[in-house]
Amino acid sequence: MWILGISKSHNGAVALIHNGKVISAIQAERISRIKRQAIELENDKTLVSECVIYCLNQAGIKHSDLQSISICTPWDVAHIENEKLFNLIGGTPKNYKKTYYVPHHYAHAEYILHYSNLSKGIILVIDGSGSKEKDRKLFNITEKVDTGCMSYVDRSGKETISAYSFDGKEVSLIYRFSLSADKNNKVNINGNGFLQSIGHYWRWASNYCCGSHSEAGKVMGLAAFGSPEVHKDLKILSLNDEGFLEVNYKKLNDNFNYPNFFGKDLTHNSHYSDIAAMVQKDTEDVLIKILNILIKKHPSETLYYSGGVALNMIANEKIIRSNLFKNVILNGSVEDNGTSIGAALAAYNSQTDSRSVAPLTDYYGKVYSDNEILKSITKFPYKYELLTEDNKYSVISSLIFENNVVGWFQGRSEFGPRALGNRSILANPKSQYTKYILDLHIKQRDRYRPYSPVVLEEYAKEYFDIEVNSPVMMTGGKVLNNNFPAITHRGNSSRVQTLSEKDNKVFYNLIKSFYKLSGFPIILNTSFNLPGEPIVENPTDALNSFRNGALQYLCIGNYLVTRG
């Protein structure tokens, strides 16, 4: 049973599943090369069909093999006639069953359940905003609502927080926050377009501190430099004991009137870092409070947590350390791209009344053959040599050990926002110059932003104070010694990727080789992209990035490309 999932969203994506197993998934940005590329569906025929072909080719199937298409959107839901839909995806299925329309938060929920052992638990979904309440009647996959559901829903609302209880089989809504999205409604009167939403509070902070809505990650990095004490009395974000959330935009407007509209580097700027620290602390406090309220009503050992706000690894760490739950399940693609997979899984569940599970991964992209790689390399004027598999590890680890920064392109591309060692830039975390070289020359980032380490899973606790493994970089912990300046953020914090051999053998072997050479099993791992661009997808993207950027070495498959 082949099901295509589409995230019609500001972070558009297409996924393909077969009998409940994720076969392939691609974010539209990786194809269009425009960061956070939206899929509007009706207006994006070429892009959508390219994404679909990408997925079908990986599975070795054709459009005619597809049986269902499942669509998820945070925008207006509009049913599409089959003929029009098939035209958009670029081909016609033979035995087509149905088009599914899936509520946004529900798709997030189905996706996170996929990475579990289906143990009973609470599913929490928090993002900017999801489905519109007016569209509920248009969904043909509907949510079961628990009789005791805490509900703050306006007819003109958009879901911003949802929680579900999962009994091992069924998912039931237990909490929903979905206040009006109408900008003239009294709850939004001071919002200047921002909603009563934790995700929108971060969008406000991103806009205020970085001059753009989509820089929440920068705000998180900045927060470490600020003090949450400075604005602690403002209480901008609050949640009462009944689970009613408030973002007090009036107070924000009254107190903060110097937005960083030019997006200037905020290093050593306490005005913005204190605001970032306030937003971070508010978020952590409210998350813990929501979870306390939910767990009181629905005692559970397991938390499944998804939605864009779940990208906040500091808050995730707080949740894990709160010990409210024995298990906290987090996946990598918690943003809207993940709803393409979630929507397809929801359709599978609806058709078969069963749920499939899989080990946590984000390697859902394409593998490029040696021929494809070589064909791309020869189009560029660079020196290259073919390395043997074993030689590759020793050559690249030596380069990194000698403080070179290396582009690393291997295997299947990652689906989510994190480069997990297949489309990465790698460097020595011990050198005092590494971060400067990355910030000023290669990645051209603001100085306050951190870089992440990848550590061999079996040694993780020797080097980091972490509670659980973090295979998709969703949690972090303190760096336990001060030998790694390039990956140690303010306050010794770090967003860690723990790596096992079964997660990614090639990357594992590289780090193991580096360990033998250096005496420490850690490498700095940052995404392979130029400033403002999406992560590279194919060999030509990688070589274009190499040409336009400042890397001296690129290992692509078994080829080492150098500037010469």
Partner 1 sequence: MLAKEKFNQKIFLDKLGLNISNDNFEKSVKILNVLCSHNPFKTQSFVQVFFNAWFGKILNMIDNNNLNDAGARMRSLYILFKYNKAFNKLLIIYLDKIVKNKINQNLQKEENAVNFSMLSSYFYEVKNDYEAERMVNSCFQEIKKNLINSSIPSTTWLLVQKSLRNIRNKKKAEELLTEFLQTIIKY
In the bound state with partner 1, the residue whose beta carbon lies nearer, of 124 and 198, is 198
Q: Would you count residue 269 as binding partner 1 (CB under 8 A)?
A: yes
Contact residue for partner 1 among 95, 323, 371, 432 (CB under 8 A): 432
Q: Would you count residue 446 as binding partner 1 (CB under 8 A)?
A: yes
Strand partners, 16: 4, 24
Q: Would you count residue 207 as binding partner 1 (CB under 8 A)?
A: yes
Q: How many residues bind partner 1 (CB under 8 A)?
A: 41
Residues 399 and 495 sit within 8 Å (Cβ to Cβ) = no
SS3 249: helix
CB of 211 to partner 1, least distance (A): 6
Q: Which stretch binds partner 1 (CB under 8 A): 13-21, 153-161, 256-264, 414-422?
A: 256-264
Q: Which stretch binds partner 1 (CB under 8 A): 252-260, 291-299, 352-360, 462-470?
A: 252-260
Contact residue for partner 1 among 262, 296, 299, 482 (CB under 8 A): 262
Q: Would you count residue 225 as binding partner 1 (CB under 8 A)?
A: no
Angle, CA of 57, 385 and 438, to the nearest 5°: 80
CB of 231 to partner 1, least distance (A): 17
For 146, the enclosing helix (H) or strand (E) is strand 144-153
CB of 98 to partner 1, least distance (A): 37
CB of 75 to partner 1, least distance (A): 16
Q: From CA 355, how far away is CA 115, in angstroms rounded? A: 11
Q: Would you count residue 254 as binding partner 1 (CB under 8 A)?
A: yes
Output the six-digit token pair for 42. Answer: 């009706």
Binding-residue pattern over the window 180 to 199 for partner 1, x denoting contact by CB under 8 A: ---------xx-xxx-----
Contact residue for partner 1 among 263, 360, 490, 517 (CB under 8 A): 263
CB of 188 to partner 1, least distance (A): 11
For 555, the enclosing helix (H) or strand (E) is strand 553-556
Q: From CA 281, how far away is CA 283, in angstroms rounded? A: 5
In the bound state with partner 1, the residue whose beta carbon lies nearer, of 144 and 264, is 264
Q: Would you count residue 436 as binding partner 1 (CB under 8 A)?
A: yes
Residues 124 and 367 sit within 8 Å (Cβ to Cβ) = no
Sequence-separated contacts (24+) of 473-479 with Cβ below 8 Å = 473/313, 473/332, 473/418, 473/420, 473/497, 474/310, 474/311, 474/313, 474/316, 474/330, 474/331, 474/332, 474/334, 475/313, 475/316, 475/317, 475/320, 475/330, 476/313, 476/314, 476/316, 476/317, 477/317, 479/453
In the bound state with partner 1, the residue whose beta carbon lies nearer, of 88 and 560, is 560
In the bound state with partner 1, the residue whose beta carbon lies nearer, of 250 and 321, is 250
Q: Which stretch binds partner 1 (CB under 8 A): 122-130, 325-333, 345-353, 432-440?
A: 432-440
Residues 55 and 15 sit within 8 Å (Cβ to Cβ) = yes
Concatenate the DSSP letters of all residues of 410-462 into one string.
-SSPBSSSS--SSEEEEE-SS-TTHHHHIIIIIS---TT---EEEEEGGGHHH
Give the burial class of 7: count Cβ atoms within 10 A of its Cβ; 0-12 exposed, 13-18 middle, 19 or more buried.
buried
Contact residue for partner 1 among 268, 299, 323, 482 (CB under 8 A): 268
Q: Would you count residue 213 as binding partner 1 (CB under 8 A)?
A: yes
Which residues here bind partner 1, judged by CB under 8 A? 189-190, 192-194, 204, 207-208, 211-213, 253-254, 257-259, 261-269, 432-433, 436-437, 439-441, 444, 446-447, 531, 549-552, 563
